[in-house]
Structure 1
Amino acid sequence: MTSRGPGKRVRKTPVERRNEIVTTAARIGLTEGLECITLRRVAEELGVQSGLVGHYFPAADKLVAEAFTSATMAELDGLLPERPTGADETGGPTGAEASAEGVAEGAAEGAAEDPPGTLRRFFGLISSADFDNVSRLWLNARHLSRYRPVLREHVVEQELLWCRRIERVVAAGVEAGDFRCGDPWAAAVRVLVAIDGASAYINTSEEYRAGPLTGMARALAETELGLAAGALGARDAG
């Protein structure tokens, strides 16, 4: 009588293994900081030899950059889903997009049909504590990108991608007559700058940012889109 034994491992395809490495690195970067992403640390998390991680990522900077993109893409697809399939504007799905697919499917149609509702949901989500880790990740990445060219390329690409997502919602709202805005791209850039500006204080005491900065980006968006104050705020259940 033969037995397989409890320790037998299932061999993963190169694509599965690479995605697993990036996803694990993204989780470390999101919760602990990009500086904590090392080949050894990722290997320990996965229970493999560091040489295996090095086979896919000979340079740790490349893994850090892809981990940043993976984490921020997953967040973007949850905040402003583009398509139910999880494909982005560059045409290629990422490992993190698959993890965000369930969230994206639930709101993708609303993003196209109800621009005001999409932005209400967006501002509600980014004002919650759940967005804090992503704010810290962006702040962390922008600092490190000064010294890491590969990471800088990913940061710039993600900034443009986030702006495009906001721009498309704004443009859809203008076309539907919900918004009044002569330049959706410029409005999207200013809204994102406001979000990032508030997020720059994420590591300071909450009491100093909770009041003055709460709703700042939303209020700016309302002005940019010709809306009344509070139009993009949360609606009462009743």
Structure 2
Amino acid sequence: MTGVRLSVAERRAELLAATVEQIEARGVTAVRIADVAASLGVSNALVLYHFSSKERLVAAAFEHAAQADLARLRGILTRRTSALRRLRAAVRWYAPTGQAKGWRLWIEGWSAALREPALRAVTRDLDQQWKAALAEVIEQGTATGEFRCADPKGAALRLTALLDGLAVQMTAYDGAVSRARTRAWADAALARELGLSEDDLRAA
């Protein structure tokens, strides 16, 4: 790719995508600037020109990886249908049995964020965006009387905490939790948070 002239935005996007691939393959702690550069056939200096350190590169790569999923989540939550249908679709998609972010990548990120302030700031902000998007739709459904929830923000936190925890179990411990059980638990948790029966949820 060295013979192709890219805009600054295109080059940054290329570097970030390559970094995500390297993190998935090697892990956050093992990945190096040189690995990213070599995967694209560019110099270390070019990577450092766009991202002044490995820490900044990794933090930006995690943000890059999450933005597409956040856009997809918002697309689901703004569909022209009931709040209940939107929430169920979002929870199904976000759950470790769905098509949301690569969970191995995020478990790596959570671990590294304990030691990397730049990455911790990014992952905290992204986590807050996920929860805020869910809480907003829970508030909408509560206001229209579709369901009952006295604490939308708390409900969003509990739901995502459950799904994050199940993702760790499924990713780190093969066979610890089945896909069917994970999906059933996610549905049960959503119904409970909205003051509905599971039959009500299925009917939606």
One-letter identity of the residue aligned with 2:172: N
Q: Secondary structure at the match of 1:209?
A: coil
CA contact (8 A) 1:27 1:71 kept: no
TM-score by length of 1: 0.74
Query: Is structure 2 residue 40 aligned with structure 1 residue 40?
Result: no
Paired with 2:96 and 2:2, the residues of 1 have a C-alpha distance of 46
Paired with 1:29 and 1:8, the residues of 2 have a C-alpha distance of 22
Return closer, same or farther for 1:176/1:36 CA change in 2, 3 Å cut-off: farther
Query: Is structure 2 residue 129 aligned with structure 1 residue 135?
Result: no
- The alpha-carbon deviation at position 140 of structure 1 amounts to 1.4
Q: Which has the higher contact order (CA 8 A, sep 6+)?
A: 2
Paired with 1:8 and 1:128, the residues of 2 have a C-alpha distance of 39
Residue pairs, 1:1-238, within 5 angstroms: 9-30=3-24, 33-78=27-72, 80-81=73-74, 104=75, 107=76, 109-110=78-79, 113-125=81-93, 126-128=95-97, 130-131=99-100, 134-201=102-169, 202-206=171-175, 208-210=176-178, 212-233=181-202
Paired with 1:218 and 1:139, the residues of 2 have a C-alpha distance of 23
Paired with 1:45 and 1:234, the residues of 2 have a C-alpha distance of 49
CA contact (8 A) 2:19 2:58 kept: yes
Paired with 2:85 and 2:22, the residues of 1 have a C-alpha distance of 33
The CA deviation string for residues 42-64 of structure 1, in whole angstroms up to 9 with x for no partner, is: 21222211210111112101111
How many residue pairs align between the two structures? 201
Return closer, same or farther for 1:179/1:34 CA change in 2, 3 Å cut-off: farther
Which protein is richer in helix relative to its size? 2
Q: Sequence identity of aligned pairs in percent?
A: 27
Return closer, same or farther for 1:135/1:53 CA change in 2, 3 Å cut-off: same
- The alpha-carbon deviation at position 16 of structure 1 amounts to 2.0
One-letter identity of the residue aligned with 2:47: V
Paired with 1:169 and 1:30, the residues of 2 have a C-alpha distance of 32
Q: Runs of 5+ in structure 2 lacking a partner?
A: none
Return closer, same or farther for 1:31/1:166 CA change in 2, 3 Å cut-off: farther
TM-score by length of 2: 0.85
Paired with 1:162 and 1:137, the residues of 2 have a C-alpha distance of 17
CA contact (8 A) 2:97 2:182 kept: no
Q: Runs of 5+ in structure 1 lacking a partner?
A: 1-6, 82-103
Q: Secondary structure at the match of 1:200?
A: helix
CA contact (8 A) 2:88 2:190 kept: no
- The alpha-carbon deviation at position 37 of structure 1 amounts to 3.7
